[in-house]
Chains A and B, each alone.
Chain A
Amino acid sequence: MEVLAKVHAKNIVKWAADKPEVVVFSADLTSSSEADLFRDTYPDRFFSMGLTEQNMLSMAGGMAREGFTPFVHTFAVFLYRRALDQIAMSVAYPNVRVRLIGFLPGITTPGGATHQAIEDVAVMRALPNMTILSTGDATDVESVLDVAQAIDGPVYIRMLRGEIPRLFPASEPMVLDRARILSRGTDIALLTEGICSEEALRAVKVLTAKGVSIEHLHVSTLKPFTDPQVVEAVSKAKYGVITMENHTVIGGLGSAVAEVMAENGVGRRLVRLGLQDTFAHGASKQYLMRELGIDAMALVRAVEGLLDTRFGITENDLSAVRLTAIHSDAKAEAL
């Protein structure tokens, strides 16, 4: 599996070359939110806002009204927690073209509770006019800007940084409100988002070898949430549905799936893997994923629970899995 570095930093420079309307706002986390190459390449379109997040969000709203598209870069927590009123009234209410690039989603940082955006999807999903996208690999990161820019309203992006695997072929870009179907199956419907998808792929590979039939969807659009593939997948799952998210189980992917199941009268068991209504703390991603039950083993246990069986799968079995880029068979239909 290919692992790439500074994917967003390089991509936005290339992407914005023929888009003079794109400007970047940064709140003193320019390198940390991979806006440094944009700053160096287009200094006239880069605005250092210091640690003034509330002002920055309202300014972005004002500027968007004049035909520019501000891409606001900082850690996700400093967007939706620090400046929620400003996002609601200066950006979401007027439905303007502001792109909120939120870094460090969930427990992808050892920075502790202050830096971990664990309820961002819940908060932003409740805002009218807001679109929410989540990235899970390098291909998502490279294609999410096109998806966002096609939307005539505000967009919030859970963005990954640093070293990112390429799980999906570069030739298969993210599509709005359309999950990537990573495997087909009828025993379990599995819906994952963000970094959980890579972790889930390991478990699915081992479970499939044990004879479990899993339909695995990688979800990159959390709002709107009207992808018909979701209803199809949950409707045919004989033993139940599992969601796995780098987020609290309240208000995120698990809740969105529960709403779809209830509204469509799909009576299946639903297991929501994610932070179980708890804050996290400063530790490594691997440690926290294990502690909070959003790693491959947690998924194995959830599947075993729904099937009421034990497969005897070990940590070694899971870590031995080699991942290669997964072609989504949803893609052929989308084209």
Chain B
Amino acid sequence: MASSASAVDWREEAERVARGIRRRVLEHVLRNGGGYMSQACSSAEIFATLYSRIMRIGPSQGPLVPAPFPGVPSATNKHYFTGAAYNGPRNPHLDRFYMSPAHYALALYAALIETGRMAPEGLAHFNQDGASVEMIGAEHSPGMEVTTGSLGQGLSQAMGVALARKLKGETGRTWVFMSDGEFHEGQTWEAMQILSWHGLDRVGIYVDVNGQCCDGKMDDVLPLGDLAAKLTAFGARVVEVDGHDLDALASAAEHEHEGRPLVVLCHTDPCRGLDLLRANAPKLHYLRFKSAEEKARYAEYLNRLEEG
């Protein structure tokens, strides 16, 4: 929690977490023969700062090693659970966290491990049959609470939660992590209008603006143009930061935004901390090794990281 760490401590801690996210995801991608690598490279500092400094959440209530998939929600499934427990207890004054682009799940799981909310062994369940630690996370996956793999639905669902909390007089904030690709979706702009119109100012959004989508560079697929200006026109309080600058990420949360939603545009580098990836540009969405030599280069890099 933010309150327990001193200013110097949290920064060192967040740096360690961010390094750990990249290393752990790379380790996993090597073991798995592929994975969502660039997302970890771009978002490591965002997740690290959210969990180490920004979010006021209590200790994890989830099992260190995640439970198996409990079956889909239904009227008869009494064993069903969500992954929200990993983000601490429910409390009116505590924050909530909603991760919208569900293919960032691997980075999120790594963040949970680095912050002591999940055991490293939990990652061995990743994408295994019968596990809750799914590749494209869903609401039963650690750290997740709503099903957001269909992009653009996370923000609106979190807004429904925020509206309910507002009616109940709860003071905790509702944080949403989004990817810039989600700003292609019409639903996101519907949501931005409603956020402003209903004054849901306890909602804060961190966007990983890595300029990438599945087909390649967003500028080649469908450019977003001046995203900050667009969001401002939609009534948001927009803060633009270097998405790898821990201080900038943390202080963005403190910007006054009464009556308006806060949107932090975190400009990031999808190859940050892993220059080898640049050879794959602009196809960075999913890293799949094309040769044994390529994989060996990544393995060697990981060894160097681990040797410090």
Contact B197 A50 (CB under 8 A): yes
Contact-size category for B = 20 to 34
Judge whether A66 and B156 touch: CB under 8 Å.
Answer: no
- B residues less than 8 Å from A95 (CB atoms): 73-75
- Nearest opposing residue in chain B for A152, CB measure: B75
Q: Are A129 and B75 in contact (CB under 8 A)?
A: yes
The segment from B40-48, B162-170, B238-246, B268-276 that touches chain A is B162-170
Contact with A along B161-182 (1 / 0, CB 8 A): 1111101100000000000000
List B residues 110-168 near A (Cβ within 8 Å): 139, 145-150, 152-153, 156-165, 167-168
Interface presence of B229 (CB below 8 A): no
B297 interfacial by beta-carbon distance below 8 Å? no
A79–B206 CA distance with the chains assembled, in angstroms: 29
Report if B221 contacts A (CB, 8 A).
no
B interface, over-half SS: helix
With A62-B156, A89-B153, A129-B73 already in contact, the answer to whether A55 and B191 are too (CB < 8 A) is yes
Asked if B73 and A61 make an inter-chain contact with CB atoms under 8 angstroms apart, the answer reads: no
CB distance from A223 to the nearest CB of B (A): 12
CA distance in complex: A89, B146 (Å): 9
Query: Is the pair B160, A59 in contact by a Cβ cutoff of 8 Å?
Result: yes
Chain A residues numbered 47-69 whose CB sits less than 8 Å from any CB in chain B: 47-50, 52-68
Q: Closest Cβ of chain B: how far from A155's Cβ, in Å?
A: 12
Contact A90 B75, CB 8 Å, known A50-B197, A52-B191: no
Please determine whether B156 and A90 come into contact, CB atoms closer than 8 angstroms: yes
Could you write out 27 A-B pairs with CB less than 8 Å apart? A47-B163, A47-B198, A49-B194, A50-B197, A54-B156, A54-B190, A56-B194, A57-B156, A58-B157, A58-B159, A59-B194, A62-B158, A63-B160, A63-B161, A65-B161, A66-B160, A66-B161, A67-B164, A68-B164, A68-B167, A89-B147, A89-B150, A89-B153, A90-B146, A90-B153, A90-B157, A95-B74
Q: Could you tell me which A residues sit within 8 Å of B by CB distance?
A: 23, 44, 47-50, 52-68, 70, 85-86, 89-90, 93-95, 128-129, 152-153
